[in-house]
Structure 1
Amino acid sequence: MLIHYKCPNCGDDMAFDSESGKLTCGSCGRTDSIEDFSEEFITTRFSDEEAKEYVCNNCGAAVITDADTSATTCSFCGAGVVLADRVSGNLAPDKVIPFQISKEEARNAFKKWCKNGRLTPKGFMSADRIKGITGIYVPFWLYDLHSIADVKAKATKVRTYTRGDYIYTETKYYDVRRKIDLTFNKVPVDASEKMNDDLMDKLEPYDYGSLKDFKTPYLAGYLAEKYNYDNKDLFPRVKSKVSEYIDKHIGSTISGYSSVQYKEKHVDTRERKASYVLLPVWMVYYDYDKQEHTFAMNGVNGKVVGKPPLSMGKVAAWFGSIAGATFMMAKIITFIIGGEIW
Structure 2
Amino acid sequence: MTNISVKLPGLNLKNPVMPASGTFGFGDVPAAQKFDLNKLGAMVIKTTTPHATTGNPQPQIHVLDDGVLNSVGLTNPGVDVVIDEKLTALKEKYPELPIIASVGGDSEADYVEVAKKLSDSGLVNALEINVSCPNVARGGMSFGVHPDVVEDLTKKIKAVVNVPIYVKLTPNVTDITAVAKAAEKGGADGLSLINTVLGMEIDVKTRKPVLGNNMGGLSGQAVKAIALRMVYQVRQATNLPIIGMGGIESAEDIVQFLLAGANAVAVGSAHFHDSLACPHLAEELPALLEKLGVDDVNDLVGQVELN
| Same topology, TM > 0.5 | no
Q: TM-score w.r.t. structure 2 length?
A: 0.21
Instruction: Name which one, 1 or 2, has greater alpha-carbon Rg.
Output: 1
Point out the structure with the larger strand share.
Answer: 1
Q: Which structure is richer in relative contact order (CA contacts within 8 A, separation 6 or more)?
A: 1
Point out the structure with the larger helix share.
Answer: 2
